[in-house]
Each structure stands twice: as structure tokens, then as C-alpha cells.
């Protein structure tokens, strides 16, 4: 399959000249039937994601009924089954590297590179190293030759036997050996003399009659032969072309040696090769069957020793699981550390717009195959130590979202770095840092934005299930619904960079945590995706209750495999995913898990500050054209409601003498007081109404208790409600904290 990309490469991409690849490392595939439009324009339908068939969280739990057609229990298999099994097991007539254009190209490239290097290596050395050496060693070669001929003519090899006969005073034996020697010397002397005459005659003829090139060639040949004969045994005339490539030319012996030193073989069992070692892109592909009882996990643990046994850097060795057997391991051994090679600038620079419903280019894998990302129906956690490219990699995703004018962006940066500033051009809600400035508290703004979003998400669930079937056939958000301005349910991307700064906020930390947990868990299903990034993924800074809600994880370099497991999820290390193996030089490189069925390495494309600014300027123009600029970017001022304004609101709707009021009554009164904020709550039925209030007040430690009251008919009833004193206590506490701050 030949890839075409709808994102033309930007000005001078580094290392992105290859636009062809046969295998995508993640099953996020492009439609092959859609022709890529010219000019870098992305049209809907161009990228296609393999998404789960169902998003119904309850679908997993469904028990299967009896199959309509029970499986056939016939044995032996039918002829067609037998043929199908044979078909699967049959090896192709031609190997992949002959059949597949991209592999053929890789082999051709390798052969050209290899042999041109070897030839060039020797060509450079011929005049300056080899020729002087030949001339220097040839007299010694001539001496060695003539000495050898002399020994042969005078039968030197029999000398020791003749001396032994003399020493043993064995006259008969000595006479026999002497006679034989005399005969030999006579014959060999004649041969040598004749050969000498022939040689001399030939030399004279050449000298007198032959053209000078032939004479030169003959002299060169003779000198080279003598030079070779005269070269010391420890210093061969011709050097080995010690190009780095040759070091990595893998043979089965090297692979076996590596497994032996790594302790992956036993005395009576070594490894087997189910397929020959072959080239795969810019590296070698080796598939190995470990001895029975050894597993992929053992190979992962022995990775360092395996690399040492193969005489390569650990960063060049990649291990893949093979689903067909627990003992089968597929190695990819890169010619050089592929992760230190930057992926190049983002193709988004050349794209006029993006369809965020489709996967978009985020980077390349270790073999240079494009990696497409999607944020649909998922939340993403990005973790890394500082300065590894956490912000840049998250920002490339947000930039793709910005280029889809129908995607609403909510961006908060806990560190107030310059990296996200340019998003003010497009973001619906945006804030930087945690310190209030000019009367604006970014943390309160975040809480309000998240509460607003929470209400929106709840509202979306209701509205989607109420939409007519012809608009919403499956009760799910569709591209059409998300782009219908009247329905107001756009795809939304929430980005919280350095989320730990907000989570550790003394007043709002807990509220933000609860809201993010809710959104990361519940919101993706209605088109609201959350992307949190942190340099402190530990339990104190970013509790597991939040981390665990992210379906997708991206870890750039971290300090240890334990931290890598914290970011990528427990058990990732045993699957061969360990982000602590990445080096400092691997900027923008990380391990991605959960975005598709496969996990793997992504070398993210780079969009620096200037690139981001260019893209966002274009994104704003797009939004202005489409009329989708909203919120902060459009200059719409939101009433600066503080996050805990609900406390004041509830206090306001409680009568002076009302110590205890039913939750439903409070919600109805709140809706009257502020229909914009609480109107949707009042429309909820039964328990949901009371639950809504309970959840909203929970962050402030207020519980709804059973409260006695009188119904309209005058009868007494016991329902959930709130106590006035609890609200007063919470407000007092809040004011005290504010004063302390
Ligand atoms: N994809 C990439 N390709 C090449 N270089 C990159 C890439 N991503 C990031 N870098 C380099 O790494 C540096 C650090 O990136 P970034 O600011 O995203 O790191 P960070 O992990 O967010 O750091 P901090 O935690 O200090 O904010 C950038 O200035 C950039 O030079």
C-alpha cells in the first residue's frame, strides 16, 4: 500500500521526504480510495479512524445469548477449512522485500549505501595507503617467494627426515631418502630453470614489445602479489571498511551469541529462527523462537544484555510481541538510534484546515511510518520530566484541533509559560498560571469553565437521546450534529497543561480534581475530550483517581520504569513499554498507549512558537469565516462568577427562618434566581434533581441529609435536603481561606 498524505510537507521538513510506507504502526488508517487533495486541503472523509464499534460502556457487561447457529462440532475439518489453514501457512513465492515496493526500495537504498561506502572507503585509501604499503612490502615478498622456491627445489621439507636417519645411523634409510631427494632436486631444478627462462623471456618481451599500459599492469600485478606476500600477518594490506554499517550486519551467529550472553538459552536448547533475518526499513528484522519456557517478558528484561551481545546501543533494539506464540519475539534492530533523529516540522503548517473527526498526523514511529492521532471519544494524559517536549507534543494536538473551526478549545496552562499564549486567538476559555492578575483569577476562570462544561456535558446526554432519529440515528454525536450551530454541541478539546499546579491549589484543588475526573470519564462519549499533561504524575500532584480516567497515555522520558508505569498504566513495563529508557536527546519522543489497539513509539512533529503562531492565525481566520469564534477569543465577557458562587446562591434562596429545605425546592429556587446556570437542573426529574445539588455541594463538604418537610397537600414527608447551618459554615470557611490567601 502506498501512502498519500493530505498534509503536504512544510517548507523544509527534516527527515520527512519519505511519504511512503507500507505498514502503519497504529491501526489508524487512511482511506485508500480518497484521493489526496492538492494544496494541503483536508477534506472530510479523507482520514478514517478505526474506532471501537460501540462506545456503550455497558456493552462490555452484556451477556451473550445462545448463538443463532450453534458452532459445528465436526471433526476432522472440512476440505475448505483444511485448504484455508494451508493457505494461511503457505509461505509466499517471493519474499516481501522483492514484492513490496517500499521494502524493495529500502533494500535498494541499503545496497547502494553499503557498497558505495565500501568502494569509496577503499578508493580513497588506494593511492595514499595501499600503494605505498605494497611498494614497501614487495621486496620482502620477493625474498619470501624466492626463499620458498629455493626450499621447494632443494626439497627442504625432507631435510628433517634425512637428519633423523643420520642421527639414527640408519644407512639404508638415509640412502633411500638421499636418492629420492637427488631425483626430486634434478626434476625440480629443471622445472625451475625452465620457468625462470620462460619468465625472463616473457618479461623481456613485455618490456620490449608490449604497450605501456600492459607493462604497467604487469608490474602493478607483480608488485601487488609480492606486496601481499610480504605483508606482515598482523597487518593486512587491505583494511576492513570499518563503516558503522558493517558493524551491524547481523548474522544468525550474532543473534545466537546475544541470546546466550543474555541467559535466554539453556544448555540443551538454543533459539530457533522461524524466518530468515532480513532488512526492514533502516534496520534488520529478526524473528526468534526462544527456548520453551522462556517468554517475551524474559526478553524484555534481558534487553540491555541482548543489545550488548549484538554490539549495538540499547536504543537501537526494539522488541515486538508476536501473538502467535508466547516464546516468539520479533526484534527490530535499527542501523542507528532512530529516536535521536527529529521527525521534522508538523505537516499542519501546510494544511489549510483539519477535520478533527478524522485522524491527523502527529508524528512518525521509530521506522519513519506516519503516526496518526485522534482525540475522539478519549482523554489523553501526557507525562514527562521537564524539557522533553511534553508541552510541544500536546500543543501539536491542540493545533490540529484549532485548525478545525468547529472544534471548541478550552486551554489552561498551570505554569503560565509563553507556550500557550497564542491560543488566546481561538480558545473559547483560556487562562494562564494560578496567580490572580488585574482582578482576574485564572483558577476561578478554570473552575467556572469546567463547571460550565460539566453542565454542557450533562445537557448533551439528555439532548442527544431526545433528538429525532433522522438527525441522531444512534443517539450519539455525529459530525453533522457537532457542526450544527443551532444544536450547539461542537467537538470540544480541554487542554490543561501542568495540571498539577491546579490540582494542588489550596482552595479550588479538590473542586478542579472532581470536575476533571468527571469530564475525563464521562465527557469523551459526547464529544468533549480532555488532555491533561503533567511533569509530576505521582499520587500527590496528580492523583490516580484522575490518571485512571484517561483512556490514552503518552509518556516522554521519565526517571524510572515505575514512573513510566504510573503514566502509561500499570503493567506497561512488562509489555515492553518503558519510557525511562528514552534518552535526554530524544526530544518530543514518547510511548503512546491506548489511542489505538497497538502501543508504540511516536516521534512527534515539531511546531515551535513561530509555527504555532502561524497556524493559530490561520485558525482564527477560519473561525471568523465560519462564524465559530466564541467565548474568550471573541471577547465575550462572562459574568465573573466565582467557582463557589453556588454557596452564595443557595444561601440567597434560603429564607431567613428556613433551617432545612428539600433539595428539589432549592434547585427550583436556584433556577428562578439564575436560569442560565441552574435552568437545566430544574428540568431534571425526581432523584436526578436532588443528585445534581448534592454533587455540586459535595466539593464544599456539604451533604444532603434526610429532611422533614410538608408537601403541597400539607402532608409531612422525609426527603433529601440541605441544612442552612451547613451552608453558613461552608461560606465562613471559604471566606477564612480567602482572607488567609
Ligand atoms: N517534536 C520535537 N522535535 C524536536 N524538538 C522538540 C520536540 N518537542 C520539543 N522539542 C524541544 O524540546 C524543548 C522542550 O520542549 P517542551 O517545552 O515541550 O518541554 P516540556 O516537557 O513541556 O518542558 P517543561 O516541563 O519545562 O515545560 C523545546 O524547546 C524543543 O526545543
CATH for 508: 3.40.50.300
Tell me, yes or no, whether 533 and 489 share the same domain.
Answer: yes
pLDDT band of residue 637 (cuts 50, 70, 90) is low
In a domain, 120, yes or no: yes
Higher pLDDT, 49 or 122: 122
Count H helices and E strands in the chain, helices first. Answer: 24, 17
In a domain, 75, yes or no: no
Q: pLDDT tens digits, residue range 197-228?
A: 999 999 899 888 888 888 889 899 999 999 88
Tell me, yes or no, whether 186 and 151 share the same domain.
Answer: yes
Ligand 1 centroid – CA 541 distance (Å)? 21
> What integer pLDDT is reported at residue 234 of this predicted model?
67
Tell me, yes or no, whether 430 and 558 share the same domain.
Answer: yes
Tell me, yes or no, whether 159 and 187 share the same domain.
Answer: yes
* Nearest atom (ligand 1) to Cα of 533: 22
Residue ranges making up the domain that contains 649: 645-740
Helix (H) or strand (E) holding 719: strand 716-723
- Long-range contacts of the stretch 122-125 (C-beta < 8 A, 24+): 122/238, 122/241, 125/239
Q: pLDDT tens digits, residue range 79-98?
A: 888 888 888 778 778 887 88
In a domain, 98, yes or no: no
pLDDT, mean of residues 537-563: 93
How many angstroms separate the CA atoms of 678 and 277, rounded?
67
Ligand 1 centroid – CA 607 distance (Å)? 10
Task: Indicate the number of domains in the chain.
Answer: 3
How many angstroms separate the CA atoms of 604 and 594, rounded?
16
In a domain, 615, yes or no: yes
pLDDT, mean of residues 324-337: 90
Q: What is residue 133's three-state secondary structure?
A: helix
**DSSP class of residue 216?**
H
What is the C-alpha radius of gyration for the chain, rounded to an integer number of angstroms? Answer: 39
> What integer pLDDT is reported at residue 337 of this predicted model?
84
Tell me, yes or no, whether 619 and 686 share the same domain.
Answer: no
Judge whether 730 is annotated as a binding position: no
**DSSP class of residue 129?**
I
* Nearest atom (ligand 1) to Cα of 589: 1
Ligand 1 centroid – CA 70 distance (Å)? 56
* Residue in the block written with cell 512518525: 364
Query: What percentage of the chain reaches a pLDDT higher than 90?
Result: 42
* Nearest atom (ligand 1) to Cα of 417: 27
Tell me, yes or no, whether 587 and 526 share the same domain.
Answer: yes
> What integer pLDDT is reported at residue 376 of this predicted model?
94
How many angstroms separate the CA atoms of 459 and 407, rounded?
18
In a domain, 71, yes or no: no
Residues 6+ apart with CB under 8 A from 341: 15, 603
Ligand 1 centroid – CA 135 distance (Å)? 57
Judge whether 390 is annotated as a binding position: yes
Judge whether 637 is annotated as a binding position: no
Ligand 1 centroid – CA 313 distance (Å)? 24
> What integer pLDDT is reported at residue 421 of this predicted model?
94
For residue 536, give Cα distances in angstroms to 382, 497, 552: 10, 11, 17
Ligand 1: residues with CB < 6 A are: 342, 384, 386-392, 417, 535, 587-588, 604, 606
Judge whether 388 is annotated as a binding position: yes
For residue 420, give Cα distances in angstroms to 124, 417, 430, 545, 605: 53, 7, 9, 26, 17
Query: What percentage of the chain reaches a pLDDT higher than 70?
Result: 86
Ramachandran sector of residue 410 (left: φ over 0; alpha: ψ -120 to 50; beta: rest)? beta
pLDDT, mean of residues 237-243: 61
> What integer pLDDT is reported at residue 338 of this predicted model?
85
- 233 has a pLDDT exceeding 80: no
Q: What is the ipTM of this complex?
A: 0.96
> What integer pLDDT is reported at residue 710 of this predicted model?
72
* Of 211, 230, 249, the domain-final residue: 230
Tell me, yes or no, whether 594 and 680 share the same domain.
Answer: no
Tell me, yes or no, whether 657 and 688 share the same domain.
Answer: yes
In a domain, 636, yes or no: no
Tell me, yes or no, whether 128 and 225 share the same domain.
Answer: yes
In a domain, 721, yes or no: yes
Ligand 1 centroid – CA 405 distance (Å)? 26
pLDDT band of residue 250 (cuts 50, 70, 90) is confident
Q: pLDDT tens digits, residue range 98-119?
A: 888 888 888 899 899 989 988 9
In a domain, 172, yes or no: yes
680 and 455 in contact (C-beta within 8 Å)?
A: yes
Nearest partner of 721 among 737, 703, 738, 736, judged by Cα:
703
Pick from 496-500, 571-575, 592-596: least confident: 571-575
Tell me, yes or no, whether 649 and 625 share the same domain.
Answer: no
Higher pLDDT, 432 or 8: 432
Tell me, yes or no, whether 550 and 413 share the same domain.
Answer: yes
* Of 197, 230, 263, the domain-final residue: 230
Q: Ligand 1 test: best mutation among 373, 588, 603, most atoms within 8 Å of CB? A: 588
- 190 has a pLDDT exceeding 60: yes
* Of 629, 657, 686, the domain-final residue: 629
* Nearest atom (ligand 1) to Cα of 386: 25
394 and 552 in contact (C-beta within 8 Å)?
A: no
Tell me, yes or no, whether 654 and 585 share the same domain.
Answer: no
* Nearest atom (ligand 1) to Cα of 535: 25
Judge whether 139 is annotated as a binding position: no
Q: pLDDT tens digits, residue range 379-396?
A: 999 999 999 999 999 999
Query: Would you mind telling me the total number of residues written for the chain in this entry?
Result: 741
Higher pLDDT, 473 or 49: 473
Amino acid at each position: 500500500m502506498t501512502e498519500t498524505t493530505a498534509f503536504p510537507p512544510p517548507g523544509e521538513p527534516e527527515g520527512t521526504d519519505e511519504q511512503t510506507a507500507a505498514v502503519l504502526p497504529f491501526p489508524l488508517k487512511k482511506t485508500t480510495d480518497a484521493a489526496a487533495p492538492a494544496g494541503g486541503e483536508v477534506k472530510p472523509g479523507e482520514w478514517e479512524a478505526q474506532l471501537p464499534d460501540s462506545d456503550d460502556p455497558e456493552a462490555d457487561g452484556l451477556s451473550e445469548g445462545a448463538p443463532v447457529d450453534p458452532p459445528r462440532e465436526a471433526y476432522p475439518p472440512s476440505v475448505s477449512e483444511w485448504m484455508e489453514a494451508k493457505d494461511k501457512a503457505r509461505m509466499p513465492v517471493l519474499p516481501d522485500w522483492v514484492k513490496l515496493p517500499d521494502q524493495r526500495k529500502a533494500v535498494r537504498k541499503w545496497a547502494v549505501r553499503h557498497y558505495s561506502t565500501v568502494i569509496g572507503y577503499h578508493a580513497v585509501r588506494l593511492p595514499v595507503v595501499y600503494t605505498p604499503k605494497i611498494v614497501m612490502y614487495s621486496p620482502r615478498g620477493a625474498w619470501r617467494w624466492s626463499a620458498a622456491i629455493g626450499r621447494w627445489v632443494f626439497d627442504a621439507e625432507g631435510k628433517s627426515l634425512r637428519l633423523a636417519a643420520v642421527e639414527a645411523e640408519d644407512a639404508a634409510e638415509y640412502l633411500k631418502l638421499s636418492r629420492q631427494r637427488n631425483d626430486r632436486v634434478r626434476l625440480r631444478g629443471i622445472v625451475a630453470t625452465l620457468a625462470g627462462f620462460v619468465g625472463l623471456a616473457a618479461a623481456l618481451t613485455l618490456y620490449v614489445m608490449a604497450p605501456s599500459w600492459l607493462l604497467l599492469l604487469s608490474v602493478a600485478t607483480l608488485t601487488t602479489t609480492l606486496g601481499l606476500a610480504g605483508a606482515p600477518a598482523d597487518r593486512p594490506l587491505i583494511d576492513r571498511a570499518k563503516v558503522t554499517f558493517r558493524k551491524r550486519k547481523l548474522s544468525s551467529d550474532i543473534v545466537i551469541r546475544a541470546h546466550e550472553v543474555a541467559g535466554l538459552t539453556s544448555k540443551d536448547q538454543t533459539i530457533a529462527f522461524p524466518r530468515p533475518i532480513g532488512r526492514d526499513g533502516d534496520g534488520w528484522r529478526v524473528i526468534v523462537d526462544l527456548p520453551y519456557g522462556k517468554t517475551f517478558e524474559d526478553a524484555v528484561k534481558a534487553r540491555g544484555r541482548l543489545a550488548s551481545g549484538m554490539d549495538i546501543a540499547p536504543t537501537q533494539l526494539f522488541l515486538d510481541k508476536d501473538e502467535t506464540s508466547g516464546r516468539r519475539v520479533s526484534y527490530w534492530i535499527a542501523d542507528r538510534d532512530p529516536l535521536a533523529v527529529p521527525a521534522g516540522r508538523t505537516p499542519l503548517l501546510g494544511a489549510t484546515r483539519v477535520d478533527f473527526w478524522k485522524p491527523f498526523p502527529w508524528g512518525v514511529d521509530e521506522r519513519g511510518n506516519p503516526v496518526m492521532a485522534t482525540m475522539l471519544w478519549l482523554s489523553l494524559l501526557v507525562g514527562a520530566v521537564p524539557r522533553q517536549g511534553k508541552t510541544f507534543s500536546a500543543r501539536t494536538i491542540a493545533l490540529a484541533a484549532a485548525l478545525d473551526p468547529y472544534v471548541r478549545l478550552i486551554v489552561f496552562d498551570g505554569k503560565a509559560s509563553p507556550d500557550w499564549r497564542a491560543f488566546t486567538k481561538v480558545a473559547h476559555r483560556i487562562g494562564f498560571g494560578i496567580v490572580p492578575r488585574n482582578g482576574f483569577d485564572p483558577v476561578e476562570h478554570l473552575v467556572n469553565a469546567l463547571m460550565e462544561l460539566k453542565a454542557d456535558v450533562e445537557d448533551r446526554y439528555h439532548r442527544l437521546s431526545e433528538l429525532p432519529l433522522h438527525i441522531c440515528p444512534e443517539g450519539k454525536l455525529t459530525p453533522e450534529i457537532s457542526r450544527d450551530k443551532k444544536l450547539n454541541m461542537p467537538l470540544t478539546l480541554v487542554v490543561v497543561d501542568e495540571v498539577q499546579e491546579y490540582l494542588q491549589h489550596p482552595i479550588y484543588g479538590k473542586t478542579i480534581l472532581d470536575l476533571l475526573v468527571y469530564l475525563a470519564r464521562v465527557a469523551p462519549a459526547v464529544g468533549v475530550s480532555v488532555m491533561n499533561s503533567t511533569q509530576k504524575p505521582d499520587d500527590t500532584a496528580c492523583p490516580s483517581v484522575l490518571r485512571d480516567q484517561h483512556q490514552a497515555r503518552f509518556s516522554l522520558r521519565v526517571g524510572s520504569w515505575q514512573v513510566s508505569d504510573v503514566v502509561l498504566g500499570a503493567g506497561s513495563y512488562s509489555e515492553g513499554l518503558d519510557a525511562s529508557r528514552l534518552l535526554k536527546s530524544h526530544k518530543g519522543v514518547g510511548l503512546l498507549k491506548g489511542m489505538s489497539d497497538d502501543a508504540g513509539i511516536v516521534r512527534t512533529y515539531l511546531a515551535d512558537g513561530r509555527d504555532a503562531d502561524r497556524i493559530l492565525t490561520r485558525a482564527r481566520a477560519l473561525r471568523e469565516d465560519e462564524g465559530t469564534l466564541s467565548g474568550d477569543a471573541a471577547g465575550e465577557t462572562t459574568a465573573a462568577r466565582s467557582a463557589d458562587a453556588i454557596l452564595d446562591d443557595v444561601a440567597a434562596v434560603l429564607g431567613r427562618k428556613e433551617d432545612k429545605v428539600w433539595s428539589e425546592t432549592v434547585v427550583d429556587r436556584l433556577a428562578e434566581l439564575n436560569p442560565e446556570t441552574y435552568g437545566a437542573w430544574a428540568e431534571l426529574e425526581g432523584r436526578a434533581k436532588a443528585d445534581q445539588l448534592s454533587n455540586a455541594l459535595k466539593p464544599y463538604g456539604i451533604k444532603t441529609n434526610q429532611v422533614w418537610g410538608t408537601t403541597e397537600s400539607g402532608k409531612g414527608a422525609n426527603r433529601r435536603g440541605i441544612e442552612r447551618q451547613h451552608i453558613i459554615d461552608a461560606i465562613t470557611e471559604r471566606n477564612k481561606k480567602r482572607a488567609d490567601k
